[in-house]
Structure 1
């Protein structure tokens, strides 16, 4: 995995506020949200908040997000100092809470984040709820994220801290709530029962092994990958001090439920503590014989301890992760590992892993292996190391992709490239982003994107199953859309890359894997990503031969989201389409999906995209958009399709 963000953020307004919005399989069936905590600071007190050290907390009327009061935190001498609130008696294990708080600096500019500190047996752990978010003294910024308590604790506090400065800050209008969980669907096929050619797994954190998450996991998957709990920073944070507090509960759950475990990962350039690369002289290591010997000794000691701790409970290890950089002439990533030890760090890692875990399959794992240059460099490296006798058993393809990339042909070439090496191949971290560029952001996943995603999953799994003689496992990088690293990478926005939505309900993507014939009849499917055109085609519908449904699906101060459904109610199919209307409230479209848009003043014209140009007789298609408004947001009164007036439903 390339980063480790945890929770969802999605930009909603031009004021840089941040919010989480859940996509549901059937919004009408959702229970009502329940609020469990609020702090509005309107009573002149600090309402139970305390500092994390010696900072001063006081009620303030200098600025307020709502009403007249806020909480002022001053006298901070470290960035981690800030306001904290005890939630031990409020949070229940396994419940997904949405935490929202407004933050404003008193004078400086900085980045603020929202976190949780928990303690078990006197040992503290820290969970990030919202990552670094720019905050100034000129405006309030909303930090909103999800948090699920996954373990028993004796201490639990929510807190706000900053990234760089120790200036004073204000907070206001905290709310904490949850939506009662929907039960896991038991009347749908289990993925593991449908896909029998190889095990199908999911990456997990502690939040995925409790309550409904745990039931969803065991119903559908054969194996698990601890997403972060086995990495170096989690298992050996300081030299020769090993801890398995994060991983042990995941391993116990897997063993109790008969789930195989992929170990991830023993060597990586990320999430490795700085002490690993610090020499005996206290300086950063360089390519000296002394530093190389010290580094390889630390590597051997780490692998001997971590791999031995779990013994035969882990049958597959990602020994080395992301060692290729195709921008280099030789294709080798210039990590600290390589800069100090050259390829000897890989030789050492695989040799020691084989000695400690002779039963396990040992993998070298990387992303973008469908890219020819990266694929070829990885092939050459594995070929070289195997020729030297390095015990590499397989290649892991991460397969972090999106709805438009890569092609099936590129993915198939990725698989066929490694067949001559006579090694196993696994898909290790698959997810399919609904986004095709960093500039996109949707408050809720558009239906057409979810459908396109479903067809990507359908086609990719069909390809993997054709190559089941080569592929020995497929793992998704997450269980459901409520906990995905893509919510904060490569930019902060709510993504929906997995088979189950934020309420743990099956998406069209699930049906793409379980039963592709049901993709367009699943609850989230309201449009088709492609439609066949009947032999009789035309360019204009006849009079009264089209109908339009315009629906505002979300609204906030100054902005909104809307969906438009076009139905061809005539007898002639269309090879292309163009819809037009007038905005009478000064609305402006800022982003549109499912088509191409032009706007001149009040006049909006939306044409088909390349993949949905055909509109057969009796067929329909949809598009959606984000827009802004000032004085009002009235629904357009009239629409045309290819120049002909339509019925407005």
Structure 2
């Protein structure tokens, strides 16, 4: 997403012979952005803004982020209603725009989003620029994100919406601009020419097939994965009405440029329209014979249509995605698919996919397969289904990791586990976050984090290349740092998880894959990890706890908890306990197993994180609900011993 004219800056292209050391986020120093839009509401008018429906748009002097004026939106009757600005004649296809706007509720609180509506041939599509961000009436909050328009459109508007309520809101000081594109570096080795043991691919959206993005993609990669364009919500938004408006341009680009395609994904518990799980009586499906039969019928119809759409142009399919939940005794995710149909939805999906695409390799795909409990449950499931004759050809390892986790040894154990099954393995969604916890955030990626990231890419690719017969493909989950899902998940902040920076220039991570001799020598295993600009618990007592709310919305919140073992001996298991003072209730927790009785909470380790060295840390996160107030717990105990609270 993005667009606008480019300036030739060939002199800024880095020569391939330059040594690579710890680098800043972007290759070119002090780029000069070009502003194409401003709305400051200082002239007493609405400056071209309008509502998306029947809400009222008016100039206001009640509050302002800068100066004396802002835009007030009132009379909203739906969360998607809000201030909207026509950018059709401003944004050009293929240019990456940075859009910033300040938002404030008139009263109360909510989460705000910055989005785009575009129409082609009268059909509307929606792109999210900035995800849910907590907004209150007490202060202005900035929403900043990047957008590239990737297709021809006859309608294009940027707008602000909310997540939960229809309260009045103000916006102020919108700006939109772009940094002139740098040419793609042609004097550096292509990743696909260096890594010859298996194809190397990238996940793409429409933004990755235009202008310099398309040039970078075809220079370095053998294959592509449409990141969202083949999912259920994109291909069958309403029953038996199929559309391939998102996928067709990506498939045409891949075919024209000789790129192999991984199809992703036929069955997933996310991004599946609600109608799929609605029974003939209009009610949510339950585990009845009638509902199961209808669900499997819909699954078969969807799979036959989508898997057969592009014929032999798609040689690999992620048939089912993320079906393992290691916290369940049997390891199976309690999705709507499973609750209604049990394992028969997986059996059906693979059977029909084989019939619809007999040429294709069929994969089961999941994340955190380096975690022993999850890995073992996935192994057991695949072993069982293979024994039943279910046509599973391979296992996909997503490998969404960070600069400190997991170890190479843990990743090697992941690969080795599946070798006896005699199936293919692929790395399907790899990225390496520069963050090690949800409480961290950097305005620009620190040089030491980028260097550590380069070591991780170096070591992981070296491991993958030791398995040329087992690892048959490695796909990065994105092309460059300007378009990554990690900018909004698990919290909103700028991440830099890929090989190329936001201006499409090679990072140290690229050299970690293409030529490790060009990065600095890796520190010894005993050297400390790069430090982060975050506060650490005080070094007193036998344990210390940091509790941080990382996101909040009406009635709900997300929190991270980290504790440090300040004792002199390692822990082999742990239980952290506290009392909620505001009656909060935990609804979902990861990185541990929890129990709650009234206000009392106890979180214990899971199989893979029970060991905490002396001086070491462990962490977990959770989603919770609250009413009235959401105070942080005042005290914690670790295995019955009181902790210091940071």
Partner of 1:263: helix, strand, or coil? strand
1:402 — aligned with what?
A: 402
Distance 2:525 2:404 in 1: 20
Distance 2:283 2:73 in 1: 37
Are 2:428 and 1:428 aligned? Answer: yes
Unaligned 5+ segments in structure 2 are 3-22, 540-646
Partner of 1:328: helix, strand, or coil? coil
With the length of structure 2 as denominator, give the TM-score of the two structures. 0.78
Q: Deviations over 1:375-423 (max 9, x none)?
A: 1111111111111110000000111111111111111111111111111
Partner of 2:534: helix, strand, or coil? strand
2:27 — aligned with what?
A: 26
Distance 1:597 1:180 in 2: 46
Are 2:447 and 1:504 aligned? Answer: no
Are 2:439 and 1:419 aligned? Answer: no
Structure 1 residue 529: Cα displacement: 5.4
Q: 1:323, 1:333 within 8 Å by CA — same for their partners in 2?
A: yes
Are 2:230 and 1:230 aligned? Answer: yes
Q: 2:27, 2:503 within 8 Å by CA — same for their partners in 1?
A: no
Distance 1:47 1:277 in 2: 44
Equivalences, count: 519
With the length of structure 1 as denominator, give the TM-score of the two structures. 0.78
Distance 1:23 1:319 in 2: 39
1:618 — aligned with what?
A: none
Q: How does 1:123-522 map to 2 (within 5 A)?
A: 123-520=123-520
Instruction: Select 1:591's aligned residue among 534, 538, 546.
Output: 534
Q: Deviations over 1:302-340 (max 9, x none)?
A: 000001111111000000101111111111111111111
Partner of 1:253: helix, strand, or coil? helix
Q: Which has the larger radius of gyration?
A: 1
Distance 2:82 2:522 in 1: 48
Distance 2:495 2:256 in 1: 32
Q: 1:448, 1:529 within 8 Å by CA — same for their partners in 2?
A: no
Q: 2:424, 2:472 within 8 Å by CA — same for their partners in 1?
A: yes
Partner of 1:418: helix, strand, or coil? helix
Distance 2:386 2:205 in 1: 33
Partner of 1:429: helix, strand, or coil? strand
Q: 2:440, 2:533 within 8 Å by CA — same for their partners in 1?
A: no
Distance 1:445 1:70 in 2: 33
Structure 1 residue 437: Cα displacement: 1.2
Structure 1 residue 108: Cα displacement: 2.5
Q: 1:201, 1:476 within 8 Å by CA — same for their partners in 2?
A: yes
Partner of 1:503: helix, strand, or coil? coil
Q: 1:103, 1:172 within 8 Å by CA — same for their partners in 2?
A: yes
- Residues 1:519 and 1:90: Cα distance change in structure 2 (over 3 Å): same
Structure 1 residue 531: Cα displacement: 6.5
2:602 — aligned with what?
A: none
Structure 1 residue 53: Cα displacement: 1.1
- Residues 1:532 and 1:158: Cα distance change in structure 2 (over 3 Å): closer
Q: 1:58, 1:72 within 8 Å by CA — same for their partners in 2?
A: yes
Partner of 2:339: helix, strand, or coil? helix
Structure 1 residue 167: Cα displacement: 1.7
Q: 1:23, 1:502 within 8 Å by CA — same for their partners in 2?
A: no
Distance 1:358 1:483 in 2: 34
Distance 2:533 2:310 in 1: 52
Q: 2:408, 2:460 within 8 Å by CA — same for their partners in 1?
A: yes
Distance 2:525 2:364 in 1: 43
RMSD: 2.2
Q: How does 1:9-24 map to 2 (within 5 A)?
A: 24=25
Distance 1:407 1:127 in 2: 36
- Misfit runs of 4+, over 6 Å: none
Q: 2:24, 2:447 within 8 Å by CA — same for their partners in 1?
A: no
Structure 1 residue 114: Cα displacement: 0.7
Distance 2:135 2:125 in 1: 25
Structure 1 residue 532: Cα displacement: 11
Q: Deviations over 1:199-220 (max 9, x none)?
A: 0000001111110110000000
Q: 2:131, 2:492 within 8 Å by CA — same for their partners in 1?
A: no
Instruction: Select 1:530's aligned residue among 523, 528, 533.
Output: 523
Partner of 1:173: helix, strand, or coil? strand
Structure 1 residue 23: Cα displacement: 5.8
Distance 2:430 2:486 in 1: 12
Q: 1:363, 1:393 within 8 Å by CA — same for their partners in 2?
A: yes
Partner of 1:591: helix, strand, or coil? coil
Distance 2:503 2:78 in 1: 38
Structure 1 residue 112: Cα displacement: 1.1
Structure 1 residue 26: Cα displacement: 3.0
2:89 — aligned with what?
A: 89
Structure 1 residue 165: Cα displacement: 1.6
Q: 2:38, 2:174 within 8 Å by CA — same for their partners in 1?
A: yes
Q: 2:267, 2:321 within 8 Å by CA — same for their partners in 1?
A: yes
Partner of 2:218: helix, strand, or coil? helix
Q: Deviations over 1:549-599 (max 9, x none)?
A: xxxxxxxxxxxxxxxxxxxxxxxxxx99xx9xxxxxxxxx96279xx999x
